[in-house]
Chain A
Amino acid sequence: MNSTHGMIKAQIEDEMLVTYGEDFTDDTNLFEAGIMDSFGYVQLVGFLQDTFGIAFSDDFILTNVMVSLARMTEAVEAQMQLAQAS
């Protein structure tokens, strides 16, 4: 697993009191599993933007709802590539 994935995973574990492999996997819908609430989601989006130096546009966030670790990792990497390309 790459560092982006690992950093996001660690943040979820710390902030949401869960253990990877036990409480969630890459594809677990974190909302439906009761792991992520509105506060946690807002915190996490802030963490992703601050940590990886990216900014999600409203359009992007509406079309890329980051409900799982895998979706978050993809979204961050896509935004980072976009930033590098521009």
Chain B
Amino acid sequence: MCGIAGILSLSEGGRPPATDDLIAMMARIGHRGPDAAGYMRDRHAALGSVRLSILDVAGGDQPIQTEDGRYVIVFNGEIYNYIELRERLTEQGDRFVTTTDTEVVLRAWAKWGVASLAQLNGAFAFAIYDRKERSVVLTRDRYGKRPVYYTQAQGQTYFASEAKGFLDIEGVSFETDPAHLATVLGSWTPLPHQSCWRGIEILPPGHSVSITEDGPNTPQPFAPLRFAEPELTASHQGAAARTRDAITEATRLRLRSDVPVGLYLSGGLDSSIIAALLSDMLPQGVRSYSVSFEEAHLDEARYQQIVAERFGASHTSLPVTARDICAAFPNAVYHAEIPVFRTAFVPMFLLSRHVSDDGTKTVFSGEGADEAFLGYDLFRETYMRREWANLDLAERKARVERLNPYLGHYSNQTHGALLGLYENYQSEKMPGLFSHEIRYQNGKFAQRLLADAELGAQAFETLSTYAENDEVFAGSDPVQRAQWLEYKTLLCGYLLSTQGDRMGMAHGVENRCPFLDPNVVAMSGAVNRQFDGIWQEKAVLKQAFPELPDEIRARHKHPYRAPDSASFVAEQPDYLELVLSSGELARSGMINVSFAERLVRKIMTSPPERISVRENQAFVYLISFQMLQEQFVTRRATPVADRAGLDARLTTKLDTLEAA
């Protein structure tokens, strides 16, 4: 795991990339690679790496180049099947200098070109510079675990693992893209190609982009998302066994590390499965980590403890309070780089610091299981709404009673009202977005924060078009469409990024997700709804792992959450002025000040039980947006980059210009 950055000046007479600019970019993303740093520079390109050493700790410094000097790579992430790929390359005559996965990617690209990309099983973003062709290719893994951004200024193309890498580059200004902001407010996340910053591109997951002297070309997909796997012709038992095999192999592959691995233990089914597997695979046991809350409805410590005890994990639980969340919020938002709709990413920021302090650099997590194995009630709700007209009253009530038990307003007393709610949502009103219409209708509330009211509707039109233009989406049934939207929005736009990569890498901790192994995702497509009738949550997984404690198997999915607006109301941090002052609210020109004031007044004066989920979300959006303006736009509160720390670990310098 690492961070990468680069400056490309690929035209014949272009200004050579400046070392100082590259170093400044590397310093900005230095948290991603606390162990080593290095760069190469020639007349047309400068490529930098800050490294978190996981494989070949001693010999894996970057950049790495081929013997003939044609190809140079800077790499962020892990390729879990690198040993198998290395064997194939060796059989075909390649000779390796290091034992890193980075060198495998480099040689695979040199030998197989674009065809190498779909063979990579991992979490990665990398840049390969082809000196002969004077071009660079940027590539990002298929589900969006590792990020890479690029932009153009002063006739050069810049790329970096995080947008903040461009903060100190002359000619790159940070302005919130209003269309992207409207998408975030409406649907919780940006679309995969939206960075939230005007003029700054993010490479979508499963894409690569070629950059030549004319600048970046259109990104090309190399691993489209698929759901229509051939159905598994097996018994329940056979399906469970095959599913177990796929997850076991994915976990085994992800144990390839030259440093100790840990586990984020949520107390839910998915991380418990990984705990079970790791207890078999690691004779010394596993170190597991979690957060706990004072608020009983958020806290899962009891279940975490049950799993840790059952599988012999050495477990640490980090208590997180409202005060902790408020104190860490500015720093966590700086790392997130986009407006956020809940505070749950902040405890993950604190947890990764704790994990790093504990000497663990890489952690397993259960991320991806809910999308693959239909863990969210959204999928069952979609199915129910599609069938609604054919259900009698008793069936409707029975279905509604099984949804969202963790939400206070989904109790026995409210099922009558909820019947009326769903009666209104049985037919599609937003083209292609049937499954997510209730969420998106609620998103319209947060979009009222926008000064330009037209942007909200445009954002949903963009989302509809984006989905309907995708061949896989167009050919999918409503539940698969719901999955597609989850992969393309919440998973890559929040769970893997804001709550995942960014919070982990803020403290040099990388996460590994067996449920995002392509073979596991394919297996889920082959078994979903065949063996559980959709209404039994993750029935195949539960059958596949009978050793899980009964308490875990019997639990309904409990979404991970943290205290939201109540934290800010209770703690009254200084930065609350950003949303309390009408002058501050008006500063960006993008906020509907009168609605924002009304929202803030309600949040600040109402008891927590009177605050709805969407009001909480709108408030967190608002305060994070305001904070990002301070950090990235007006620069009134931009954190200082650790330039001295970077200089101290800058050991690899391949500078042909300086040498000349």
Contacts and interface: CB of A to CB of B under 8 A. Distances in A.
Interface of A: 17, 31-35, 37-43, 45-46, 56-59, 61-62, 64-67
Contact of B420 (A35, A43, A65): A65
A39 B420 contact: no
B97 interface: no
A38 B445 contact: no
Interface in B394-447: 396-397, 407, 409, 414, 416-421, 423-425, 429, 438, 441-445, 447
B417 A37 contact: no
Contact of A35 (B418, B421, B424, B445): B445
Contacts of B444: 33-35
A38 B417 CA distance: 9
Contacts of A41: 417, 420-421
A38 B397 CA distance: 16
A24 to B, nearest CB: 12
Contacts of A37: 438, 441-442, 445, 612-614
Nearest to B415: A58
Given A42-B418, A46-B417, A62 B423 contact: yes
Interface string B573-611: 000000000000000000000010011001000000000
Contact of A45 (B420, B602, B614): B420
The bracket for how many chain B residues form the interface is: 20 to 34
A40 B414 CA distance: 12
Given A34-B444, A37-B441, A62 B613 contact: no
B58 interface: no
B393 interface: yes
Given A40-B612, A42-B417, A31 B424 contact: yes
Contacts of A61: 416-417, 419-420, 423
B60 to A, nearest CB: 50
6 contacts: A17-B615, A34-B456, A39-B614, A45-B414, A56-B416, A65-B423
B507 interface: no
Contacts of B595: 17
Contacts of A43: 409, 612
Which of A35, A38, A57, A65 has the most C-beta atoms of chain B within 10 angstroms of its own C-beta?
A: A38
A57 B419 CA distance: 11
Contacts of B443: 34
B424 A42 contact: no
Q: Give the 3 A-B residue pairs with the shortest CB-CB distance, closest first.
A: A34-B444, A45-B417, A39-B612
Among A35, A56, A62, A64, max chain B CB count under 10 A is at: A62
Contacts of B409: 38-39, 42-43
B417 A34 contact: no
Nearest to B456: A34
A40 B393 CA distance: 23
Given A17-B599, A32-B441, A62-B393, A38 B421 contact: yes
B613 A59 contact: no
A17 B599 CA distance: 7
A20 to B, nearest CB: 14
* Residue among B419, B445, B613 having the largest count of chain A Cβ atoms under 10 Å: B445
Contacts of A57: 416
A67 B422 CA distance: 11
A59 B599 CA distance: 35
Nearest to B602: A17
Contact of B442 (A34, A59, A62, A64): A34
B441 A34 contact: yes
A40 B613 CA distance: 10
Contacts of A64: 420
Given A17-B599, A61-B420, A34 B445 contact: yes
Given A33-B444, A38-B421, A56-B417, 5 more contacts: A37-B442, A38-B418, A38-B442, A39-B409, A58-B393
A38 B598 contact: no
A9 B602 CA distance: 18
